Chain A
Amino acid sequence: MKQKVVSIIKENLLEIIPALENEELSLDDTFVDLGANSLDRGELITMTLERLESESSRVEFVGAQTINELADMIVEKG
């Protein structure tokens, strides 16, 4: 499950910030370091939950700083 979530997060991140296309994305880089502002992070959470057809509220995922952290939270909370 986590692998699937991670790859969806990565795909969405590339859609939001196309400049990351040729970058090596570390799962532990912070979204801020990857150039995602708060609106981008909000969009990333929205798109990821959408792709997973999750009905969870976005606010439940506040505080996720990295791809790994966000994936863990999504796996945990559904």
Chain B
Amino acid sequence: MKAGIEAINIYCGSAVLDVKELAVARNLNMERFENLMMKEKTVPMPYEDPISNGVNAAKPIIDNLSEEEKGKIDMIITCTESGIDFGKSMSTYMHHYLGLSRNCRLFELKNACYSGTAGFQMAVNFILSQAAPGRKALVICTDIMRTNIVEDSLDFSFAEPSTGSGAVAILVSDNPTVFQVDKGANGYYGYEVMDTCRPVPDAEAGDADKSLLSYLDCCENSFKEYQNRVEGADYETTFDYLAFHTPFGGMVKGAHRTNMRKLKKAKPDYIEADFQKRVTPSLLYCQRVGNIMGATAHLALLSAIENGNYDRTKRVGVFSYGSGCCSEFYSGLVSPQAQESLKKYGISNHLQDRYKMSMSDYESTFHVNGKLKFGTKNFKVDREEFPEPYAHVKGKNKLVFSEIKDFHRKYEFV
């Protein structure tokens, strides 16, 4: 019995900012900024929200299925910390715009950046349970952070260049062409900690240092639990590639360095070479999008799959961390066919095709972001306010967010 990823695609917006320009404009210490290892961030446009991003990530996957296969999707799990309603799940909107069968479970999951892994593992277990043989689950990880004011707090000054916007859609089934999970190879580790959170809508709070230490604690302990459950597992030799939740590239580099030193007693030069070989492929997409929270671990996994060398079937180790906190280390196999099956989605081209904003373009989005807060009852999106990025969407059959009317969100394919 196999289970895992049959198809995976992303949508990471239509506008992007070079974060080096941002760092200069904000007078950040450039040495510290370089340690972030980030290059670009997706800037959310007013006509994009977590729902339209999710649909745009999933639609190419759905369009590629036959009617019969579409009818086999038994659930849509939305994984997010950017929900738009305390009660109604975003899955209901996405289900509608994807045109799926009404015999389908619709719900939303949360645990900060761990949400994507929580949803993915629930979907995998649904397939492995054989409760509904031959059926599929659609997991949509989608998160967004709209900047509307720039905080003076030093703690969060480095959050602005590393926070992104986007979605990853994953079709989970018993035909895991892209990533076949290692059944039962899961180490989890969680406990209550107040590191970073969203205690009020539309803003983050917390302690960045504590979050970093908690990430390191979890990375080590979830892997140790993985080792307890997988006989003979070795941090260095078991995994050809590693894909970690990437709040920023430097965090992953730091965690990998710590693991290699602690678990393998490796020396700095050796660790650096190993990082370049086994970890760098997973960072390439994350460095161009920014942290998309619940969707980041799978963006890293996708990046490792698309940018690695799979001349034979190889194993990828995945680490997911969500503040609060919960974490998991798991793994799966990627065959030489995986890259070919993903080509049709043109993922690298999508990242390349985003409109490159200037600092003033970027800051001109703040006022409208301020009007799109959680709980907005009525709002009409002016799509033409940002004509250059909109030109990257129009005519491409993308879903855009157009209106909120009595709290009900409206979308259109353009």
Query: Which A residues form the contact surface with B (CB < 8 A)?
Result: 37-39, 41-43, 45-47, 50, 57-59, 61-63
Contacts and interface: CB of A to CB of B under 8 A. Distances in A.
Interface in B211-227: 212-214, 216-217
B41 interface: no
A43 B213 contact: no
A46 B209 contact: no
**Dominant SS at the B interface?**
helix
Contacts of A57: 213, 217
Contacts of A46: 216, 258, 262
B262 A62 contact: no
Nearest to B254: A39
A62 B35 contact: no
A43 B271 CA distance: 14
A59 B208 contact: no
Given A38-B212, A46-B216, A59-B214, 11 more contacts: A37-B35, A39-B250, A39-B251, A39-B254, A42-B209, A42-B213, A42-B216, A43-B254, A57-B213, A57-B217, A62-B209
Contacts of B261: 47
Interface residues of B, number: 21
A38 B248 CA distance: 12
A42 B209 CA distance: 8
Interface in B228-262: 250-251, 253-254, 257-258, 261-262
A8 B257 CA distance: 19
A51 to B, nearest CB: 11
Contacts of B250: 39
Given A46-B216, A58-B217, A59-B193, A41 B209 contact: yes
A43 B95 CA distance: 45
Interface of B: 32, 35, 193, 195, 207-210, 212-214, 216-217, 250-251, 253-254, 257-258, 261-262
Nearest to B29: A37
B210 A59 contact: yes
A37 to B, nearest CB: 5
Contacts of B251: 39
Contacts of A58: 213-214, 216-217
Contacts of A59: 193, 195, 210, 213-214, 217
A63 B212 CA distance: 12
B212 A42 contact: yes
Interface centre among B35, B216, B253, B261 (most CB of A within 10 A): B216
A64 to B, nearest CB: 10
Contacts of A39: 35, 212, 250-251, 253-254
Contacts of B195: 59
Interface centre among B207, B210, B253 (most CB of A within 10 A): B210
A37 B253 CA distance: 14
A45 to B, nearest CB: 7
A43 B214 CA distance: 12
Contacts of A38: 208-209, 212
A42 B254 contact: yes
Contacts of A42: 209, 212-213, 216, 254, 258
A37 B159 CA distance: 14
A42 to B, nearest CB: 5
23 contacts: A37-B32, A37-B35, A38-B212, A39-B35, A39-B212, A39-B253, A41-B209, A42-B212, A42-B213, A42-B216, A42-B258, A43-B257, A43-B258, A45-B213, A50-B262, A57-B213, A57-B217, A58-B213, A59-B195, A59-B213, A61-B213, A62-B213, A63-B209
Contact of B210 (A43, A50, A62): A62
A46 B258 CA distance: 8
Nearest to B213: A58
Across the A-B interface, the 8 shortest Cβ-Cβ residue pairs:
A58-B213, A39-B254, A62-B210, A59-B213, A59-B214, A57-B217, A58-B217, A42-B212
A50 B263 CA distance: 11
A57 B193 CA distance: 12
Contacts of A45: 213
Contacts of B212: 38-39, 42
A61 B257 CA distance: 20
A25 to B, nearest CB: 20
